[in-house]
Copies of this chain bind each other. A is one copy, B any other.
Amino acid sequence: MFFQAFFIFSLLFLSSDAAVLDFCVGDLSVPDGPGGYACKKPSAVTANDFVFSGLATPVKLNPLIKAAVTPAFAPQFPGLNGLGISMARLDLAIGGVIPMHTHPGASEVLYVVTGEICAGFISSSDNKVFFKNLKQGDIMVFPQGLLHFQINSGKTTGLAIVSFSSPTPGLQITDFALFANDLATELVQATTFLDAATIKKLKGVLGGTN
């Protein structure tokens, strides 16, 4: 009898058109909105939607920077959609570097899994640099939108896990933004004070034109 009673009560929140969703697993196949992707049909959601194994192994390192960034943002891990958080994995070989970059829409916390990493950011108000050599287990926070970098400062491979205050933090690597596109050399020159030769050399390295 108790069973029946509760079953009735419970039904209140079970009818398919009435349930308040606790999550909104992203459906990448329909248009997204300013707040994220549309929600996958709840009945099709399984535990697998909330688990992501893409950070378990590093991607191939980029030989120039001897490093790699593997994102677990909403587009890769749609279970994060709408939940205000995401992760990424940083692999840094000896001498590896994650170049100067920003995340336009999120703050970041970095945790050193193995190795030693010199990390820092630059404030906008007075261009002051805040950096420190991080040991295994240390964490560091990088405030939203500010230029920052990570360098392997140890004698072994470095591995770090970083977390962001948004499921879609974005990643703008300054060198790529300036040199890996068709922005005219004159415009880069006028807006950065670099000379044309330097710009053209970096455009060559990074695949930019013009």
- In the assembled complex, the Cα of A3 lies from the Cα of B85 at a distance in Å of 33
- In the assembled complex, the Cα of A102 lies from the Cα of B181 at a distance in Å of 18
- In the assembled complex, the Cα of A35 lies from the Cα of B37 at a distance in Å of 10
- In the assembled complex, the Cα of A171 lies from the Cα of B10 at a distance in Å of 11
Judge whether A124 and B22 touch: CB under 8 Å. yes
- In the assembled complex, the Cα of A168 lies from the Cα of B106 at a distance in Å of 16
Judge whether B27 and A127 touch: CB under 8 Å. no
The smallest C-beta distance from A88 to any residue of chain B, in angstroms, reads 10
The smallest C-beta distance from A54 to any residue of chain B, in angstroms, reads 8
CB within 8 A of A172: which of B17, B145, B195, B207?
B145
Interface residues of A in 1-57 (CB under 8 A from B): 1-3, 5-10, 12-14, 17-24, 27-28, 30-39, 41-42, 45-48, 50-53, 55-57
- Say yes or no for A83: interface residue by CB 8 A criterion: yes
Judge whether A111 and B161 touch: CB under 8 Å. yes
- Say yes or no for A86: interface residue by CB 8 A criterion: yes
Judge whether B194 and A19 touch: CB under 8 Å. no
- In the assembled complex, the Cα of A187 lies from the Cα of B148 at a distance in Å of 11
Judge whether A22 and B100 touch: CB under 8 Å. no
> What are 8 pairs between A and B in contact, CB < 8 Å?
A22-B144, A35-B82, A56-B137, A77-B139, A124-B172, A127-B181, A149-B191, A194-B202
Give chain B residues whose Cβ lies under 8 Å from the Cβ of A6: 62, 64, 176, 180, 205-207
- In the assembled complex, the Cα of A82 lies from the Cα of B83 at a distance in Å of 17
Beyond contacts A104-B143, A124-B171: 4 other A-B pairs, Cβ-Cβ < 8 A, are: A10-B207, A33-B82, A47-B130, A146-B172
Judge whether A27 and B31 touch: CB under 8 Å. yes
Q: With A136-B56, A191-B149, A205-B3 given, is the CB distance from A34 to B31 under 8 Å?
A: no
